[in-house]
């Protein structure tokens, strides 16, 4: 993508590690001024320093997105210091992998995921939306999950919160069309970050850098959705062969049991931060013809209903 984000003010939540930190680096490399939000002050300072060391323009703000006063105070400080926010990336999230039969006495699992993944995203959206409408420009990227399309077993709490955010985004995008405010929902696949560590090995995962590049694409191109093939196939499967889809998911459920954390053998199964594994995918380069072909196919694919990859 040759387009830049020069001059844009981009706010990213959950920016102290994982996808958020990688996204801050990638967005700043495109020329944007990046506002990093996170709860952990030490990691936030390190992330800001890393972006600046790479030549980017970044500012850190400690914020608890589950606290309305904290969000309002932070957004006020950003607007006071920098004037406005052009784009918001609701990336902060909490993931819990636990079977429902182990959750009947753990309603707080569902409350905690909703507090961060849904209500936290809404707090930030509501805080920046008035000035976006006033300036008649704004773009909001909500990080969802391909699991919402797949209905992945053992992620009922996490996927319910993301599904709520998906539907809110769909309605908001329709209501704000004339206001110059647009939305993108990214149905992320599994990404190798500290958040998934308590759940154990769940199969192939993308790198945070891959996820960051997807976020940059969402900010530059501003599509309504960005999906991955697995999610699209699952959606079609639910429409065309729902019983077969359910049988496949049930076999998946039986094949991969709860992690020790989910069983209460090691923590509470929530997304407590853990050190990064240090795993990284080797850098891959693509020739110009391949990039042009990929771009052309992607644009053609957008005309096919339900295909957003």
147 token code pair:
């699991």
CB 189 within 8 A of CB 228: yes
| Domain-embedded: residue 4 | no
Number of domains composing the chain: 1
pLDDT of residue 239: 87
Instruction: Residue 77: give the domain boundaries.
Output: 9-301
Phi-psi region of 112 (alpha: psi -120 to 50; beta: other; left: phi over 0): alpha
| Domain-embedded: residue 1 | no
* Residues in Cβ contact with 31 at an 8 Å cutoff, skipping those fewer than 6 apart: 4, 5, 6, 7, 8
What pTM, to 2 d.p., does this model score? 0.80
**Exposure of 250 in the CB half-sphere (CA atoms within 13 A):** 6
| Domain-embedded: residue 96 | yes
Q: Active-site residues: which are they?
A: 158
| Domain-embedded: residue 2 | no
Determine the Cα angle at 113 with ends 28 and 70, to 5°: 60
| Domain-embedded: residue 307 | no
| Domain-embedded: residue 306 | no
Residue with tokens 């909490």: 94
Segment-wise mean pLDDT, segments of 10 residues, the chain, 309 residues: 84 95 97 96 96 97 97 97 97 90 91 97 98 97 95 92 97 97 96 66 79 96 94 89 88 78 57 37 55 67 53
CATH number for 182 = 3.40.50.720
| Domain-embedded: residue 122 | yes
| Domain-embedded: residue 113 | yes
């Amino acid at each position: 993508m040759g387009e830049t984000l020069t001059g844009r003010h981009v706010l990213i939540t959950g920016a102290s590690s994982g996808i958020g930190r990688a996204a801050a680096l990638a967005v700043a490399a495109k020329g944007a001024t990046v506002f990093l939000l996170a709860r952990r002050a030490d990691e936030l300072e390190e992330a800001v320093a890393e972006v600046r060391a790479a030549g980017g323009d970044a500012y850190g703000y400690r914020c608890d997105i589950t606290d309305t006063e904290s969000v309002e105070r932070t957004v006020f400080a950003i607007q006071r210091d920098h004037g406005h926010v052009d784009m918001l990336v609701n990336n902060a999230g909490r993931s819990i992998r636990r079977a429902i039969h182990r959750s009947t006495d753990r309603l707080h699992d569902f409350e905690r995921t909703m507090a961060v993944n849904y209500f936290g995203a809404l707090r930030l959206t509501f805080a920046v939306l008035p000035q976006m409408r006033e300036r008649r420009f704004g773009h909001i990227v909500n990080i969802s999950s391909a699991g919402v399309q797949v209905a992945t077993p053992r992620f009922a709490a996490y996927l319910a919160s993301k599904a709520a955010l998906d539907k809110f985004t769909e309605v908001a995008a329709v209501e704000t069309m004339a206001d110059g405010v647009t939305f993108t929902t990214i149905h992320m696949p599994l990404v190798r970050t500290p958040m998934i560590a308590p759940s154990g090995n769940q199969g192939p995962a993308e790198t945070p850098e891959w996820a960051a590049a997807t976020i940059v694409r969402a900010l530059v191109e501003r599509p309504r959705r960005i999906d991955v093939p697995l999610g699209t196939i699952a959606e079609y499967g639910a429409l065309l062969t729902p019983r077969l889809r359910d049988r496949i998911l049930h076999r998946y459920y039986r094949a991969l049991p709860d992690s020790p954390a989910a069983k209460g053998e090691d923590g509470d199964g929530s997304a407590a931060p853990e050190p990064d594994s240090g795993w990284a995918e080797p850098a891959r380069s693509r020739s110009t013809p391949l990039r042009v072909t990929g771009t052309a196919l992607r644009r053609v694919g957008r005309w096919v209903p339900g295909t957003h990859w």
